[in-house]
Amino acid sequence: MPKITTYDFIESNTRKTILLMALFPLTLAALVYLSLLFISFIKVSDKSIQSYNLSTFAVANEIAIYIIPIISILAILWVLISYYAGQSFILSTTGAIELTKQNAPELVRIVENIAIAAGLPMPKVYSINDEGLNAFATGRDPNHSYVVLTKGIISHLEKSELEGVIAHEMAHIGNRDIRLMLIMVVCISFATVVAEILLHMAMMARRSGNSKNNNAIQILLFVLAIVLYVYGYLLAPLIKLAVSRAREYQADATAALITRNPQALIGALQKISGNSMVKNLRDKETMSPMCIANPLAKNKQNSFFAKIAGLFATHPPIENRIKALQTMDLSR
């Protein structure tokens, strides 16, 4: 069996990114059309509405002409804007602050050394003010990349362990995992954000009156919101499945090769596994695959949506990752 190289991962991630960018608006449009068919079926079946003498498909097509182009254009714009500004959105939502040679000289020097060893441009370094032990990388390419570390992981890990974590994140940057994860996060967040907006609009329409037109608007908004929630929370694991679990093993292995010290990363993973929750990320389930370990609160990890997502988890269990590192041979 041929060995999978870093270049294979980069090529694979590039293909997956393009596929996700193309399929996201198309899949969303298909789901919206199915919801319109459901609404149209109800209208056509209602004998009290004499104006609907058309077939279910004709009614759905009539509505879809106006709705689907708008949703598709918004989805495409969301992906394009997020591709170039998504990392800024992620950094702001996590409350991360930039670290420089002025306010964190030793840490920045460590990141510089790891970047040189990995043969990658120096990423910008950010920190989240949280005592949990976690880290992630984001950005659209190695030239526009960011490594984010919690205050807890910076203060609680030994220098060699911290180097292992940073090397792990640099591996994600080098393999272009960050671009793929960025697109995945923004696609899912688009669906859930729009779903919440539509649900609020449906509630407002309900309070404004009970006319036939108003009821029809309520049903349309409510069904569209449910479809988008289903897309964001139930179909999201399928999107996550596109990001193979092998990416974490590959990043761990690459980190061990960069630092020549797999034991340091093993020690870091052992410490991280016991305290990986990050308060600023506890309500951001879509961002959890970006982190080196699950940042969600225990009750979130046991939630219905989290359990479903776990069936398609992109992170293998930490104990399995440790076992893989223990078997690494750095002599070649």
Catalytic residues: 169
CA 63 to each of CA 35, 224, 271, 298: distance values in angstroms, whole numbers, following the listed order: 11, 13, 55, 43
Query: How many alpha carbons fall within 13 Å on the CB side of residue 157?
Result: 33
User: What does the DSSP 8-state code read for residue 277?
Assistant: -
Helices 105-118/246-259 angle, 10° precision: 100
Helices (H), the chain: 6-45, 56-94, 105-118, 151-156, 159-174, 177-208, 212-233, 236-241, 246-259, 262-273, 298-301, 304-311, 318-326
Tokens read off for 173: 């940057």
Contacts 24+ apart (CB under 8 A), 31-34: 31/227, 31/228, 31/230, 31/231, 32/64, 32/67, 32/68, 32/71, 32/224, 32/227, 33/60, 33/64, 33/68, 34/227
Tokens read off for 41: 């079926």
Q: CA–CA separation, 68 vs 61, rounded Å? A: 10
Q: Which residue has the tokens 């041929």?
A: 2
